[in-house]
Amino acid sequence: MSRTNDAPRNRIETDLWKAVCLSVEQGATVCSHSGQVRPGDVFVALPGTRVQGPDFVQEALRRGAAWVVVDLKTDLPDQPALVRHPDPRQALGDLAALSWSIAGADLTIVAVTGTNGKTTVTHLLEAMFSAVGRTVGVLGTVAYRWPGHVEPAPLTTPDTLGLHRRLADMASMGVDVVCLEASSHALDQNRLAGIPIHAAVFTNLTQDHLDYHRTMDRYFEAKASLFREMDGRQPAAAINLDDPWGRRLFESLPKAVGFGLSEEIPDGSLSGNILAMDAAGLRLACTYGDKSWELSSPLVGQYNASNLLAAQAAGLALGLGPDQVSRVADMIRVPGRLESVRDEHGRHVFVDYAHTPDALEQVCSTLRRVGFSRLVVLFGCGGDRDPAKRPLMAQAVARYADMAVLTSDNPRSEDPLSIMAQARLGLTGCPQIVEEPDRAQAIRLAVEVLAPGEALLVAGKGHEDYQEIAGQRHHFNDIEIVAHALAETTPAGRSRCA
């Protein structure tokens, strides 16, 4: 995002800032980590939660930084290389924009934000744009990828310099549409500074990340900032009107395209109606103005119908027609999002990233509605994250599961048993409960009790290939472990190795 650049606090520093910008235009490298500074570089000292950028100013100077940008509050004596700026994060984005020239690239950048659905919507957008002949890059939770390049995603949204660099790499490889997930952390930390956002999508807002944002209002404000700072003469926006926070946002964006499944969707919005749904997918009727069309998708659930509408609404906002936006149906699967693991004995196992109360509510209710004879749900709660959501996640499971298997997710620095005890409070009313902190063993136990026609949801980690315990990441993949357990057991639970 490109905010109007705040001027430094006086004329002298305005001139200094111009000198910094000129230095970058002439080829100086921009850094935000003092350990990477080389002679002649520009170092931007960013505020942090655990460490502060200004603490590393002297190291940057010792390493030969030509300029060091700090905030107005930094208590350091004035010196020739020191430039004070009211918003170092914005300064970093502005300098990165000068360095990589993203604004001049032929890129349409679509950002998707919301608690749930970001990954699925970016994949749908990718399918839609690819089908109409565009070359697409994706930056999100699963991976950063574009033609000829795939890398694991350490963050849902890259840091500012990494984002600019990757966008420049995409442009050099012929990418002309970028679909990126904008996390609330990234928006709050202004990681998108200097990036021209041409379209933005709001999927929903439900309880998550309150360990960081503290209140839902602050969480919403972080998400809403994406839409208030979009660039372009006619920025496009797509807003979920089935979500109360979405309706609140929509009221401030008169030109946005609203979308939803409810009967109260206002005229001029994209409305949808689920015509049929089962375990194989759904059929969706769509109406926008005087245009109506239908599509079929292998995605399952009302929440995925909303995701299909979200991607189409973004396309409509960008000027595509119904015959073009309906190509979202070309998207077949999203890694770790209600991903089915094949079983020759008729047991149905799904791996999903659901790790919030609402996400669990949506996926559990979907599996219950499609008609499986019994539903087993395996889940855990992440450590070092909002503890208030743990019993709420369990309550969502208890409403739909015939059997709940409570286990570990990514406990991080917390005691797994303590996390499980907090979640256990929400499982009141669940017919059967099993507790097993070893996630691999818990998965095997859940598979062993499964009969043909029954379903198991393995929730929480989705596409992730690690488990974080006591600060260490260990290889761990739910899909691999599920497949191994299915191969070793029969529906009656008899081990083939016995």
What is the Cα 70 distance to its own chain's centre?
30
Q: Write the CATH number for 422.
A: 3.90.190.20
At residue 10 the predicted structure's pLDDT band, cuts being 50, 70 and 90, is low
Q: Is there a domain that residue 2 lies in? A: no
Closest CA to 379 of 472, 313, 461: 461
Q: What is the total count of domains within the chain?
A: 3
Instruction: Give Cβ neighbours of residue 89 (< 8 Å, ≥ 6 apart).
Output: 46, 47, 160, 189, 190, 191, 193
Query: Is residue 435 pLDDT above 90, yes or no?
Result: yes
Residue finishing a domain among 330, 357, 383:
330
Fill in the DSSP letter of residue 183.
-
Which residues on neighbouring strands pair with residue 201, listed in sequence order? Answer: 112, 238
Residue 11 has pLDDT above 70, yes or no: no
- pLDDT band (50, 70, 90) for residue 257: very high
Question: Tokens for 215?
Answer: 């209140």
d(CA 438, CA 340): 22
Classify residue 1: in a domain, yes or no.
no
Three-state DSSP class for 151? Answer: strand
pLDDT tens for each residue of 313-365: 999 999 999 999 999 999 988 999 999 999 999 999 999 999 999 999 999 99
CATH code of the domain covering residue 42 = 3.40.1390.10
Asked if 489 contacts 447 with a C-beta cutoff of 8 angstroms, the reply is: yes
Q: Provide CB contacts within 8 A for 394, sequence distance 6+.
A: 379, 404, 406, 423, 424, 425, 426, 427
Question: Do the domain assignments include residue 62?
Answer: yes
Instruction: Write out pLDDT tens, residues 128-142.
Output: 999 999 999 999 999
Give the bridge partners for 293, in sequence order: 286
469 is a domain residue? yes
Name which residue leads in pLDDT, 310 or 14: 310
Residue 113: partners with Cβ closer than 8 Å, 6 or more residues away: 181, 182, 183, 184, 187, 200, 201, 202, 203, 223, 226
Nearest to 401 by CA among 434, 374, 369: 374
Last residue of a domain, one of 69, 99, 129: 99
Is residue 276 pLDDT above 90, yes or no?
yes
Residue 64 has pLDDT above 60, yes or no: yes
With 0-12 / 13-18 / 19 or more C-beta atoms within 10 angstroms meaning exposed / middle / buried, residue 487 is exposed
| DSSP H or E segment with residue 170 | helix 160-172
The continuous run of DSSP H or E covering 121 comes out as: helix 118-131
Contact 302, 261 (CB under 8 A): yes
Q: What is the pLDDT of residue 310?
A: 99
**pLDDT exceeding 90 applies to what percent of the chain?**
85
Backbone angles phi, psi at 371, to 5 degrees: 100, 20
Please indicate, yes or no, if residue 144 is contained in any of the structural domains.
yes
**Residue 274 maps to a domain:** yes
| Residue corresponding to tokens 């974080």 | 468
Give the residue with greater pLDDT, 6 vs 262: 262
Residues 199 and 310 reside in one and the same domain: yes
Statement to judge: residues 95 and 105 lie in one domain: no
Domain co-membership, 346 together with 395: yes
In terms of residue numbers, what domain contains 27?
11-99
The average confidence (pLDDT) of the chain is 93
Residues 228 and 179 in one domain: yes
Q: 476 lies in a domain?
A: yes
Say yes or no: 221 and 349 in one domain.
Answer: no
Confidence of residue 76 (pLDDT cuts 50, 70, 90): confident
- E strand intervals along 105-234: 108-113, 136-139, 143-146, 149-152, 177-181, 199-202
What's the pLDDT band for 402 if we cut at 50, 70, 90?
A: very high
Share of the chain above pLDDT 70, in %: 94
Q: Residues 164-212: pLDDT tens digits?
A: 999 999 999 999 999 999 999 999 999 999 999 999 999 999 988 878 8
Q: Model confidence over 90-131: pLDDT tens digits?
A: 999 999 999 999 888 899 999 999 999 999 999 999 999 999
**Domain shared by 272 and 367, yes or no:** no
Q: Could you give the CA distance from residue 227 to residue 236 in angstroms, rounded to a whole number?
A: 9
DSSP code, position 412 = B
Q: Is the pLDDT confidence value at 496 over 60?
A: no
Whole-number Å distance between alpha carbons of 179 and 192: 13
Distances in whole angstroms, Cα of residue 455 to Cα of each of 131, 375, 393 = 34, 5, 19
Please give the pLDDT value at position 498. 39
Quick one: which of 81, 91, 101, 82 has its CA closest to 25?
101
290 shares its domain with 166? yes
Residue 83 and residue 118 in one domain: no
pLDDT level of residue 494 (50, 70, 90 thresholds): very low
Higher pLDDT, 11 or 193: 193
Please tell me whether residues 106 and 251 are part of one structural domain: yes
Question: Cα(109)–Cα(456) distance, rounded to whole angstroms?
Answer: 38
What does the alpha-carbon distance between residue 107 and residue 105 come to, in Å, rounded to a whole number? Answer: 6
- Residue 376 pLDDT > 90: yes
Residue 20 covered by a domain = yes
**Can you name the residues that pair with 387 across neighbouring β-strands?**
none
Residue 298 corresponds to which tokens in the numbers above?
């292998």
Last residue of a domain, one of 68, 99, 130: 99
